[in-house]
């Protein structure tokens, strides 16, 4: 027979329990416990209480006893209990951390989780927890290149000041070329994106040639002047400079940020600059092309138009790039630089530690 347990609930406790049971923002288990005690306060059999709330009889007895011992507050938290598995000793944790930061004693380049678990005698999941707690990710690696330019700070300040505080009555351009853009044509049509399945494309392709995109990003308004050419010699670079020269209003000074590619320092390019005195080149530091703002445009072009594109010919590729340029210039956004030279230098110093 079902047992009948007498639970005495005061008026104040009943009001608290009714509030908890009606609060939809509380955890479901807390609401369930309050309903158990409220149903038990009506002197109903345990089986009836269990059926009404939708729980087992042992659970009804458990929370009746907890309420009798601790009151309403006892329903709001779970009792602590000793872990089924003892915690990993601190010396084992320290050993895992130290070994993860060091080279493995075999031909692998880093410690895998299973190799670490085998070497330390703990489970793979324990190794993973220790790494998560200490923010260790040996499976990942980031590339870097620290500039060795002796005039790094001077060039950094020069370029950043152009972005942050451009000269009056002047145009600030970021100029570079994206070479070897391949016109790749996939051998078979891919399947479209569907719920539960990503889009597909074949791993093999047919090459239809390459093109080079010369681009000049206007930092102040975000527009881009671009032109595709077959090669990227100083001859093509001068032709592109002539194109940009025709686009810039008369009477404006032109400050151009360029990298240290040999084409940009060719004697004929220097002669062109002498014939156009309103132009000034500002070179980024060696191995510091990330300071060139037009690289952000090239990154977006690659991600949004080139990487997944399929082009049937070189003309098709060049037409796609021109359409992307037109779409970009229809709704340009100014380039905004926020990092100060001091913050950049501090971050570089921190990365080299």
The reply to whether 6 falls in a domain is no
Shared domain check, 293 and 170:
yes
Identify whether residues 192 and 256 lie together within a single domain.
Answer: yes
How many whole angstroms separate alpha carbon 166 and alpha carbon 294? Answer: 16
Are 117 and 160 contained in the same domain?
Answer: no
Q: Dihedral of CA 333/338/340/344: which sign?
A: negative
- Within-domain flag for 122: yes
In a domain, 321, yes or no: yes
183/211 Cα distance (integer angstroms) = 8
Among 6-20, 62-76, 222-236, top mean pLDDT goes to 222-236
Number of domains within the chain: 3
Integer Cα distance of 158 and 160 in angstroms: 6
Residue 81 lies in a domain: no
Helices 113-120 + 124-133 axis angle, to 10: 110
Same domain, 343 and 205: yes
Domain final residue, candidates 29, 48, 75: 75
Task: Among 133, 167, 200, identify where a domain stops.
Answer: 133
In a domain, 125, yes or no: yes
Other CB atoms closer than 10 Å to residue 309's CB: what's the count? Answer: 18
The answer on 299 and 199 residing in a single domain is yes
Same domain, 118 and 240: no
Statement: residue 3 has pLDDT above 70: no
- Residue 142 covered by a domain: no
Domain co-membership, 202 together with 314: yes
CATH number at residue 325: 3.30.420.10
Q: Beta strands of the chain (E only): which ranges?
A: 170-186, 205-218, 224-229, 253-258, 279-283
DSSP assignment of 64-83 equals HHHHHHH-GGGGSSPPP---
Q: What's the DSSP call for residue 194?
A: B
> Coil, strand, or helix at residue 267?
helix
Q: Range of 116's domain? A: 90-133
Residue 268 within a domain: yes
pTM of full prediction above 0.95 = no
In a domain, 143, yes or no: no
| pLDDT interval class at 41 (50, 70, 90) | confident
User: For residues 156 and 345, is the Cβ–Cβ distance under 8 A?
Assistant: yes
pLDDT in tens, 236-287: 999 999 999 999 998 899 999 999 999 999 999 999 999 999 999 999 999 8
176 and 64 in a common domain: no
Q: Are residues 233 and 269 in the same domain?
A: yes
Please state, in angstroms and rounded to a whole number, the distance separating the CA atoms of residues 119 and 99.
10
* Residue 14 confidence (pLDDT) above 70: yes
- Based on the domain organization, do 101 and 127 belong to the same domain? yes
Distance CA 202, CA 302 (A): 18
In terms of Cα–Cα distance, which of 108, 106, 110, 127 is closest to 118? 127
Do 43 and 186 lie in one domain? The reply is no
pLDDT tens digits, one per residue of 117-129:
999 999 999 999 9
Closest CA to 37 of 58, 54, 13: 13
Judgement on whether residues 104 and 25 belong to the same structural domain of the protein: no
In tens, the pLDDT along 60-69 reads 888 888 888 8
């Amino acid at each position: 027979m079902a047992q009948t347990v007498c639970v005495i609930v005061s008026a104040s406790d009943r009001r608290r329990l009714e509030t908890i049971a009606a609060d939809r923002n509380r955890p479901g288990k807390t609401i369930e416990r309050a309903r158990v005690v409220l149903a038990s306060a009506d002197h109903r059999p345990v089986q009836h209480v269990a059926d009404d709330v939708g729980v087992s009889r042992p659970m009804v007895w458990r929370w009746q006893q907890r309420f009798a011992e601790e009151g309403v507050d006892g329903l709001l938290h779970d009792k602590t209990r000793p872990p089924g598995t003892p915690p990993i000793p601190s010396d084992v944790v320290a050993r895992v951390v130290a070994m993860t930061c060091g080279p493995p004693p075999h031909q692998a380049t880093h410690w895998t989780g299973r190799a670490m678990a085998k070497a330390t005698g703990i489970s793979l999941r324990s190794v993973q927890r220790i790494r998560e707690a200490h923010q260790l990710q040996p499976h990942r690696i980031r590339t870097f290149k620290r500039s060795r330019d002796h005039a790094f700070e001077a060039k950094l300040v020069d370029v950043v000041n152009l972005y942050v505080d451009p000269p009056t009555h002047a145009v600030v351009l970021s100029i570079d070329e994206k070479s070897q853009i391949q016109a790749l044509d996939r051998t078979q049509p891919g399947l479209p994106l569907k719920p539960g399945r990503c889009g597909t494309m074949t791993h093999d392709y047919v090459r239809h040639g390459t093109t080079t995109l010369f681009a000049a990003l206007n930092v102040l308004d975000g527009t881009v002047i671009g032109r595709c050419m077959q090669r990227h010699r100083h001859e093509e670079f001068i032709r592109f400079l002539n194109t940009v020269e025709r686009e810039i209003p008369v009477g404006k000074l032109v400050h151009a940020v360029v990298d240290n590619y040999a084409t940009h320092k060719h004697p004929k390019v220097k002669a062109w600059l002498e014939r156009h005195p309103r132009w000034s080149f500002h070179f980024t530091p060696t191995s510091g092309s990330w300071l060139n703002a037009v690289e952000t445009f090239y990154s977006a072009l690659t991600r949004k138009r080139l990487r997944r594109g399929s082009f049937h010919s070189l003309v098709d590729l060049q037409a796609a790039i021109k359409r992307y340029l037109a779409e970009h210039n229809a709704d340009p956004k100014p380039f905004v630089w926020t990092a100060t030279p001091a913050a950049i230098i501090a971050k570089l110093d921190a990365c080299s530690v």
